[in-house]
């Protein structure tokens, strides 16, 4: 695959299987540095991420170069990318 063919994109969370979405969210909330001393339960953190996705306060970003997905809070998404999302 050439560099021109590499595509990075947002993936609607509804297009992931339940298991894939659950694994992505669990990976995100269990990372070092994400608790910041927060005593919130693991299951509550997962529900918060699901709510953020459904309210478009968080997004799933796929980077084809690294072949990885990551969760991004809305404030982390560059403005021009959000404008592209609004057009879709």
Q: What is the mean pLDDT of residues 28-35?
A: 72
For the chain, give me the number of helices (H) and strands (E)?
3, 3
* pLDDT of res. 79: 83
| CA-based nearest residue to 25, from 50, 52, 8 | 50
What are the residues whose beta carbons fall under 8 Å from the beta carbon of 65, sequence distance 6 or more?
6, 8
Q: What pTM was computed for the model?
A: 0.79
What are the residues whose beta carbons fall under 8 Å from the beta carbon of 50, sequence distance 6 or more?
25
What's the chain's length in residues? Answer: 88
Report helix angle 42-54 to 18-30, nearest 10.
Answer: 120
Q: What is the mean pLDDT of residues 20-40?
A: 81
Q: Which residue has the higher pLDDT, 18 or 35?
A: 18
Q: What is the mean pLDDT of residues 47-58?
A: 95
- Does the pLDDT at position 2 exceed 70? no
Alpha-carbon distance of 56 to 50, in angstroms, equals 10
* pLDDT of res. 31: 81
Query: In the chain, what are the domain boundaries?
Result: 3-29+41-87
Domain 3-29+41-87 CATH superfamily: YehU-like (1.10.10.610)
């Amino acid at each position: 695959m050439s560099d021109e063919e590499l595509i990075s994109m947002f993936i609607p969370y509804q297009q992931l299987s339940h298991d894939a979405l659950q694994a992505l969210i669990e990976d995100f909330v269990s990372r070092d540095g994400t608790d910041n001393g927060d005593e919130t339960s693991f299951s509550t953190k997962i529900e918060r991420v699901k709510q953020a996705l459904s309210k478009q306060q968080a997004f799933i970003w796929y980077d084809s170069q690294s072949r990885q997905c990551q969760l991004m809070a809305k404030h982390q998404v560059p403005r021009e990318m959000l404008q592209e999302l609004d057009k879709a």
